[in-house]
Amino acid sequence: MASVTIEGVRKSYGSVEVLHGVDVAIDEGEFVVLVGPSGCGKSTLLRMLAGLEHITSGQIRIGERVVNDLAPKERDIAMVFQNYALYPHLTVAENMGFSLMLAGAKRAAIAEKVRPAAEILGLAHLLDRYPRMLSGGQRQRVAMGRAIVRDPQVFLFDEPLSNLDAKLRVTMRSEIKNLHQRLKTTTVYVTHDQIEAMTMADKIVVMHDGIVEQIGAPLELYDRPDNLFVAGFIGSPAMNMIPGTLEEGGFRAKDGTLLPVTRRGSARPGQALIYGLRPELMTAGGDVPLVVEVTEPTGAETHVVGKLGGVEITGVFRDRIDVASGGTMTVGIDPSGVHLFDEASGKRVSD
Amino acid sequence: MMPGPDQARNARDAAPARARRGLWSRLSESQNGLGFLFMLPAAIFLLFFLTYPLGLGVWLGFTDTRIGREGVFIGLENYLWLFDDPVFWLTVFNTVFYTTIASVAKFGLGLWLALILNRHLPFKNFFRAIILLPWVVPTVLSAMAFWWIFDSQFSIISWSLMKMGLIDQPINFLGDPWTARWSVIAANVWRGIPFVAISLLAGLQTIPQSLNEAAAIDGATPWQRFRKVTLPLLTPIIAVVMTFSVLFTFTDFQLIYVLTRGGPVNATHLMATLSFQRAIPGGQLGEGAAIAVAMIPFLLAAILFSFFGLQRRKWQQGQD
Ligand SMILES: Nc1ncnc2c1ncn2[C@@H]1O[C@H](COP(=O)(O)OP(=O)(O)OP(=O)(O)O)[C@@H](O)[C@H]1O
Ligand SMILES: [Mg+2]
């Protein structure tokens, strides 16, 4: 176990800079998820941590050691690749014991390490198979097994679940989480799926276009997003964003609807703002009109897509809603959960 | 309606009608028949251009045919004659030596080139194109170039070595038996490398980069990465490429024919050149054919070795 410190890290490919100075501090034993849209530089950052990409500038430390110029094998990390990168010519057992074999360990010593790891992952009966004879989920487990056998300071995962079907993904998600709780190894996990990030992380790092937008615990990010990007990225269905301005009586949307506000923060009257409203903060029956376009009952709750304050929004209601498309319903808004953002800078202004 | 005599008569009429419709329409209506029809041109082509000459060659080997005279079946006489012919055995030795040394060299140098070209190099595409050149040039042309390079008076190699003061008289490349053997091998290697290098390069590019990265993280040195990951994954392709390379080399004719015609004193005579020499200029078609047929066991052995020894890997085929 070790802490990981990333300080002012930049990465350029030729003249194109793809990471513009990233700072992340990861505590010992923490499970940190790097999340962001495709192309934001998550994999690049992870690969720099692993030693597979040169660090253009800045510093990465694992524990107390600066690893900028260390080869991957000297960093004491293990990585699980998106395509698993299993050696096709080696059996499951040989795949898992490969690093020990390279280090010159005895056959018996290798088996002694591989067996418990295989048992943790439920692979004990597959040890003699070749990767091509395994299912996607099993391959994924072998890749994790290979990492566990190394017993490294830090685990690195690059979108390990993205090749699995939805159901298996949920299972593997909790398996990885369990594994982390057992081993307590510092883990950096890359995904573009915010649900994975929310459910697995101790700490989430939201990245966007080569910068870090916000770092925090999952619910911290949900309850107090620093900017419009994080607000829109975390949460599903996404936060509704209604443009308008602040007045004495509340928030005046572009189409004239008045919405309730309590936490005004530093917002000034007349400032162009975005009113951020989580879908579940609306209740049926109130004084704000919502023109219904589609209702999607899921049983436990009803999703309503419609127009509110002149823009398309989504609402999630606990009640069963029966309004025809084109009809109008009224909703109540709990103002304590409302976020205000500056429209120009995207920064949070409410407190 | 009762099943009456009408129906019976209809059935009776139908049978001859079907037969009368002829082979052609029946073939073109059944799926198997149609498949057979479509395969027919290819089958005839193969039969005519591959099997027929091979069969004719094997047959000729059992006769005493000469140019301009029909032969008669003489059984194994040609082979018994060859068995006692020291020149024949010399060519067997030459061919095996030529093939072994040249193939090993082509493999080593070809793999080395492929590994270099597989890395990120400046002007990579330029080098990849350059490397194909020896293969694109017609053999006769490159053999003539080598003829000059190996010339006993004007060889550029002798000239350079003499200028450097390493030797004091030109090397008689093609005049001395052993230098001649090594010289033709060098020419063959030069010509054969592109095929090996480019094929192995294609094989290398099918190995995912992430496997090398995983190995690097697992602590493999570059040599271990090559030895434990790249090489095993490349083996099936190496097997195919080297089988072809061995077959081409074993049956080589043009290069020898232009460079040495088998000389000096048969030192570079290969089975293929000897076969030609006995059959065409020598007129002994039967004996020439027998020499050619004698190559077949060697070629089969090479193919079987590659197929069973190298190509079929457990991790590819599965073992259940
Ligand atoms: N070898 C390279 N040369 C040039 N640009 C690169 C290279 N590798 C990555 N990039 C660029 O760097 C940026 C970040 O890439 P990266 O692979 O880190 O994205 P990502 O966040 O992992 O995305 P995804 O979720 O799709 O995997 C992208 O814009 C990409 O085009
Ligand atoms: Mg990625």
Q: Report how many domains make up chain B.
A: 2
CB of residue A15 inside a 6 A radius of ligand 1? no
Quick check: is A350 in a domain? no
Domain that holds residue B150: 77-312
Q: B41 and B162: one domain? A: no
How many domains, in total, are found in chain A?
A: 2
Encode pLDDT of A210-266 as tens digits.
999 999 999 999 999 999 999 999 988 999 999 999 888 889 998 888 999 988 888
pLDDT of res. A44? 93
Question: Does some domain include residue A347?
Answer: no
Residue B122: list chain A partners with CB under 8 A: none
Q: What is the pLDDT of residue A302?
A: 92
Q: What is the mean pLDDT of chain A?
A: 91
Question: Same domain, yes or no, for B90 and B46?
Answer: no
Summarize the confidence of residues A142-165 as an average pLDDT. 89
The number of the ligand nearest the C-alpha atom of A40 reads 1
Residues B184-190 have a mean pLDDT of 90
Give Cβ neighbours of residue B74 (< 8 Å, ≥ 6 apart).
B62, B63, B64, B286
B185 and B41 belong to one structural domain: no
C-beta of A12 in contact with ligand 1 (< 6 A): no
Is A144 in contact with A182 (CB distance < 8 Å)? no
| Shared-domain flag, residues B22 and B170 | no
pLDDT digits (tens, 9 = 90+) for B65-106: 888 788 878 878 888 888 888 988 999 999 999 999 999 999
| A79 and A192 together in one domain | yes
Ligand 2 centre from A86 Cα, in Å?
18
- Owning domain of residue A282: 237-342
Indicate whether B4 belongs to any domain: no
Q: Is A210 in the pocket of ligand 1 (CB under 6 A)?
A: no
Q: Are residues A58 and A199 in the same domain?
A: yes
For residue B310, is pLDDT > 70?
no
Decide if pLDDT at B28 tops 90. no
- Same domain, yes or no: B271 and B296: yes
> What CATH number did the domain enclosing B182 receive?
1.10.3720.10
pLDDT higher than threshold 80 for residue B301: yes
Determine which of A15-19, A159-163, B99-103 has the lowest per-residue pLDDT on average: A159-163
The length of chain B in residues reads 320
Q: Is residue B67 part of a domain?
A: no
CB contact under 8 A, A150 and B214: no
- Judgement on whether residues A208 and A338 belong to the same structural domain of the protein: no
Three-state SS across chain A? CCCEEEEEEEEEECCEEEEEEEEEEECCCCEEEEECCCCCCHHHHHHHHHCCCCCCEEEEEECCEECCCCCHHHCCEEEECCCCCCCCCCCHHHHHCHHHHHCCCCHHHHHHHHHHHHHHCCCHHHCCCCHHHCCHHHHHHHHHHHHHHHCCCEEEEECCCCCCCHHHHHHHHHHHHHHHHHHCCEEEEEECCHHHHHHHCCEEEEEECCEEEEEECHHHHHHCCCEHHHHHHCCCCCCEEEEEEEECCEEEECCCCEECCCCCCCCCCCCEEEEEECHHHEEEEEEEEEEEEEEEECCCCEEEEEEECCEEEEEEECCCCCCCCCCEEEEEECHHHCEEEECCCCEECCC
Proportion of chain A above pLDDT 70, given as a percent: 100
B149 and B266 within one domain: yes
B218: which chain A residues are within 8 Å (Cβ-Cβ)?
73, 98-99, 102, 146, 150
pLDDT (0 to 100) of residue A264: 82
pTM recorded for the entire structure: 0.78
Do the interacting molecules here have an ipTM over 0.90? no
In-domain check, residue B69: no
- B211 and B303 co-located in one domain: yes
Chain-centroid distance, C-alpha B176: 28
Span between the terminal Cα atoms of chain B, in Å: 60
Instruction: Assess whether B57 and B81 both reside in one domain.
Output: no
Q: Which residues of B touch A79 (CB under 8 A)?
A: 213-214, 217
Q: Does residue B134 register a pLDDT over 70?
A: yes
Rounded CA separation B303/B250 (Å): 12
Q: Which CATH number covers residue A123?
A: 3.40.50.300
pLDDT more than 90, % of chain B: 22
Asked whether residue A349 is assigned to any structural domain, the reply reads: no
Within-domain flag for B284:
yes
Looking at the CA of residue A44, tell me the nearest atom of ligand 1.
18
Weakest-pLDDT range from A179-183, B15-19, B128-132: B15-19
Are A105 and A34 members of one domain?
Answer: yes
Q: Has residue A249 been placed in a domain?
A: yes
Same domain, B131 and B188: yes
Across chain B, what does the average pLDDT equal? 83
Condensed to tens digits (0 to 9), the pLDDT of residues A41-91 reads 999 999 999 999 999 999 999 988 999 999 998 899 999 998 899 999 999
